[in-house]
Structure 1
Amino acid sequence: MAGNTPLGARMLRRKPVSALIAESGGPEEGHLRRSIGLWQLSCIGIGATVGTGIFFVLGSAVPEAGPAVVISFVIAAVTAGLTALCYAELASAIPVSGSSYSYAYATLGEAVAFGVGACLLLEYGVSASAITVTWGQYLNEFCHDVFGFTIPDVIARPPGHGGYFNLPAVVLVALCCLLLIRGARESARVNAVMVGIKLVILVLFVCVGLTGFHSGNLSDFAPLGIGGIGAAASSIFFSFIGLDAVSTAGEEVKDPKRTMPLAIIVSLLVVTVLYIAVAVTAVAAQPWQRFKGQEAGLAQILRDVTGSSWPSVMFALGAIVSIFSITLVVLYGQTRILYSMGRDGMLPARFARVSARTGTPVWNTLVVGAGVALLGAFVPLDVLADLTSMGTLVAFSVVSIGVMVLRRTAPHLDRGFKVPGYPVVPLVSVGFCVYLIQGLHGVTFTLFGIWVAAAAVLYFGYGIRHSRLNGARDHSRQDLPA
């Protein structure tokens, strides 16, 4: 029984892969429904990634690195790519909802899994809030150019940035929650359409922006040196966080062992090529000193290059659609992580309930929506972005370590994809994550420490006592598949 089990053993108990897969269930009532194919799943990855940062991160990253921000994007992309390969292996071996939380539970133990779940709350919940903050900027850009008015700053910006309450952020979250409650299939279809729009818009930016290419803007390529490139890479990594959203859909994907790794790799390739193209175009079309504090910056670059408003209007409209898409997918991912944690007893059972009518976790959607809306309405963007990067990098490191642990504890487990260059790739992935973590601002470490302490209180006060592994046999050894 749990009461006779030492505390250390309870913290380290692992959930067998066979149990995780068995709990994913089938189409019957009480389980998520498998309705998502390769294209829709790839769009979830692209939709959660493209736009999370590229529509606004240049405004903070270019002043840190200058034109060498292109190198910062490459560093961030390599880190994301190495980790994406690790995600692809675990997603094919453990095709369940919960992302790195579920993977950690199967490989590193319950306490680590709960900590990763807390990090994922930062990655998904806080990143969604950061994304919603920027929606109002592009909404105002579009309304100004088309209708000649803007939403007053007092209700269009968070405190500390000229406003008191970011109303557009709240409206955006409400619309996304309504769509998510309707169902995963409907949400995936709408997201696929919006992903197509955002890709067209960003390709338009590259094509038009390159007509304003000035080599002189690249002459002082790294004015702030290697340190500036590293600091910018740490911030830019925020732009790659959506890739692992694919792994949160493990229980709603058709043929997950094949579909999930393919979708992760497709998402990574599309995102990397697009980001680097946009970064090169932006710093070549505008002096790097002008990026600091620039809002709706990519739209402004198009206006300056063409001397007319139509490209910036199109771009602002595309950004509005794109940020809607990102918010939709990130909220989706967060609700599925809470679903997995509730099913494991780490959170109250209500988080594991699924609507019989829509097949979606409605309670989770409402809770996440309320939290994201409040953060987006009242918290400044820079604080949200750095916290998101910290949570993501910690979760990514755990996934890379989890690949190595599972290779040793369950070498015969059926894997639809294996990381090439093992064990070098997982080790290098962890190294890159640590490098980017140390480049974050000091206040981020303080806030993250407070967050982890709060998570520890919740785990020891509730999770460890209500875990479904209480009273079960010892899971310190990983079950091998039959």
Structure 2
Amino acid sequence: MTGPARLSQQIWLRKSVQSTEAEEGHGGEGTPGLKRTIGTFQLTMFGVGATVGTGVFFILQDAVPDAGPSVIISFVLAGLVAGLAAFCYAELASAIPVSGSTYSYAYIALGEIIAMVVAGCLLLEYGVSTAAVSVGWSGYLNALLDNLFGFSIPDALSRAPIPVDGGETGIVNLPAMVLVLMCATLLVRGASESARLNAIMVVIKVGVLVMFVGIAFTAFNADNFTPFAPEGVTGITAAAGIIFFTFIGLDAISTAGEEVKNPQKTMPRAILLALTIVTTLYILVAVSGLGTQPAAEFGSAEQQDAGLAVILQNVTGSNVWATILAAGAVISIFSVTLVTLYGQTRILFAIGRDGLISERFAKVNPRTLTPTFNTWVVAIAIALVAGFVPSDYLWESTSIGTLGAFTIVSIGIIVLRRREPNLHRPFKVPGYPVTPIITIAACLYLIAGLRLVTILVFVGWILLVLLYYVIRGRRGSVLGKSLPSIIHEGRKLP
């Protein structure tokens, strides 16, 4: 049966938890699978590494103009929604410790068609955020070079050719492209090596941010918090929607499911620890930074490329502390790019193993046990976006992808609790079913606060993904290929 009836049956096919567990240790085209080498501390640092850096080093410049000083509430709101989602992630990650994150959870809970929608959300979330973060890295690198050596990379080689609000343009953002390719080189060498390096970089970045908070509070002026919410609730919601993408680290943790030691206990711990560390740092940096200057100055041209470094320079009147912070930002944003690129490759690994894209994406190098082909294809594509598209066009697209993924995770919790009540769950969402329901409502509320053009672009992207699935993806589906025999034998569809 190959006509529409088969399509209508195939799209709701679900993978079982047992079949997913059986895939562990296997890659595409008969190659070995991924290896469990990552512990709790390294995994927590993965989550912090993918999160801290984006939110505080340059998202303030975009979020404060929307909300003013009330951006603090925006951070709290985004953190609360992320916290609710973290509980849902922790339950699914403990019950289904595999690569693929939300994609794999959706395939098990909701079926193949929803898994493809989630794949679209995740590809947008990780691909666009990696490009956006690498563009921000370019600005801090120039600030560091200027402070240390008195020169910077010319605009022609450090800015995209697309103008933003009449600002400067260039030919290509070369540093952003180089960063992505450097991270890819590290990832193909091995996951454990990348995890160790990331942990070191995260410790450095947290230290630098603590330094910023300490210095910024010496210039704290409560008058800078008036008026507190110039744009009212609308501004707070809009800023929260922009900020939300910075919590991508929670999802990044779950992409490492097949490379984590004792995942049933390690993954829930790492998710909740990372959330606590990240939210605390975000609020401290936002409060201390806003206390140093009027909110209007956050949107100035001077602060667009390296905002926190400029704040320290203004507060201390010296380049020393600004240089230290710029150096910390260069290291910090490097680790963000490393982890988000890692997450993208592991999601494609899972999709490739399911046959919904070429199995070459699931092929693992037998020596390094990493998906080499997958990593280089992803890196080249993202490097091109980073080189030619300004970050201003990328932030909100990442947020809506993250919110979409969090929504489906929460739905998956409810579905699996009803359908598989006896599934072993080392961690359970507290306050079920209220917690996942509130999470769904909160995510949809934040999506509604985004710009219409962002929502339309997202819908268009998901429609393209579904068109690909109907034309090509479903024909390669490993699960779909078993459908004729299931129908022939009269067995019930899963």
> TM tier, shorter chain?
over 0.9
Q: How much does 1:463 deviate?
A: 1.2
RMSD of aligned residue pairs (Cα, Å): 1.5
Provide Cα deviations, 1:32-58, integer angstroms capped at 9, x if missing partner: 000000000001011001112221111
- 1:112 has 2:114 as partner: yes
**Given that residues 89 and 419 in structure 1 are in contact (C-alpha distance below 8 angstroms), is that contact kept between their aligned partners in structure 2?**
yes
Which residue in 2 is equivalent to 1:123? 125
Provide Cα deviations, 1:317-371, integer angstroms capped at 9, x if missing partner: 0000001000000000000000000000110111110000100000110011011
Which residue in 1 is equivalent to 2:95? 93
For 2:42 and 2:243, how far apart are their aligned partners in 1?
Answer: 26
Which residue in 2 is equivalent to 1:287? 294
Which residue in 1 is equivalent to 2:176? 169
Matched to 1:204, the amino acid is M
Matched to 2:275, the amino acid is L
Structure 2 counterpart of 1:396, from 377, 401, 406: 406
Which residue in 2 is equivalent to 1:218? 225
Provide Cα deviations, 1:68-117, integer angstroms capped at 9, x if missing partner: 00000000001111101100000000000000000000001100101100
Which residue in 2 is equivalent to 1:369? 379
For 2:281 and 2:4, how far apart are their aligned partners in 1?
Answer: 55
Structure 2: gaps spanning 5 or more residues: none
Structure 2 counterpart of 1:450, from 456, 460, 464: 460
**Given that residues 54 and 275 in structure 1 are in contact (C-alpha distance below 8 angstroms), is that contact kept between their aligned partners in structure 2?**
yes
Which residue in 2 is equivalent to 1:18? 18
**Given that residues 157 and 163 in structure 1 are in contact (C-alpha distance below 8 angstroms), is that contact kept between their aligned partners in structure 2?**
yes
For 2:492 and 2:353, how far apart are their aligned partners in 1?
Answer: 20
Which residue in 2 is equivalent to 1:185? 192
1:416 counterpart SS class = coil
Cα pair distance change 1:368/1:471, threshold 3 Å: closer
Q: How much does 1:430 deviate?
A: 0.6
For 2:128 and 2:311, how far apart are their aligned partners in 1?
Answer: 28
Q: How much does 1:132 deviate?
A: 0.5
Structure 1: gaps spanning 5 or more residues: none
For 1:389 and 1:98, how far apart are their aligned partners in 2?
Answer: 19
Provide Cα deviations, 1:113-138, integer angstroms capped at 9, x if missing partner: 01100110011111000000111100
Equivalence map 1:288-437=2 (5 Å): 288-293=295-300, 294-295=303-304, 296-437=306-447
For 1:8 and 1:395, how far apart are their aligned partners in 2?
Answer: 24
Aligned residues: 478
Q: How much does 1:25 deviate?
A: 2.6
Q: How much does 1:204 deviate?
A: 0.6
TM-score for the superposition, normalised by structure 2? 0.94
Which residue in 1 is equivalent to 2:240? 233
Percent of residue pairs bearing the same amino acid type = 54
Matched to 1:150, the amino acid is S
Cα pair distance change 1:13/1:289, threshold 3 Å: same
Matched to 1:192, the amino acid is A
**Given that residues 48 and 329 in structure 1 are in contact (C-alpha distance below 8 angstroms), is that contact kept between their aligned partners in structure 2?**
yes
For 1:368 and 1:476, how far apart are their aligned partners in 2?
Answer: 38
Provide Cα deviations, 1:4-54, integer angstroms capped at 9, x if missing partner: 953222111100011111101379951100000000000101100111222
Q: How much does 1:476 deviate?
A: 7.2
Cα pair distance change 1:4/1:382, threshold 3 Å: closer
**Given that residues 116 and 395 in structure 1 are in contact (C-alpha distance below 8 angstroms), is that contact kept between their aligned partners in structure 2?**
yes
1:285 counterpart SS class = coil
**Given that residues 13 and 476 in structure 1 are in contact (C-alpha distance below 8 angstroms), is that contact kept between their aligned partners in structure 2?**
no
For 1:470 and 1:58, how far apart are their aligned partners in 2?
Answer: 46
**Given that residues 167 and 377 in structure 1 are in contact (C-alpha distance below 8 angstroms), is that contact kept between their aligned partners in structure 2?**
yes
**Given that residues 26 and 32 in structure 2 are in contact (C-alpha distance below 8 angstroms), is that contact kept between their aligned partners in structure 1?**
no
Q: Which runs of 4+ in 1 moved over 3 A?
A: 1-6, 26-29, 473-478
- 1:201 has 2:208 as partner: yes
Equivalence map 1:14-163=2 (5 Å): 14-25=14-25, 30-159=32-161, 160=163, 161-163=168-170
**Given that residues 89 and 254 in structure 2 are in contact (C-alpha distance below 8 angstroms), is that contact kept between their aligned partners in structure 1?**
yes
Matched to 1:383, the amino acid is Y
**Given that residues 132 and 323 in structure 1 are in contact (C-alpha distance below 8 angstroms), is that contact kept between their aligned partners in structure 2?**
yes
For 1:54 and 1:212, how far apart are their aligned partners in 2?
Answer: 18
- Of residues 178-187 and 456-465 in structure 1, the stretch that sits farther from structure 2 once superposed is 456-465
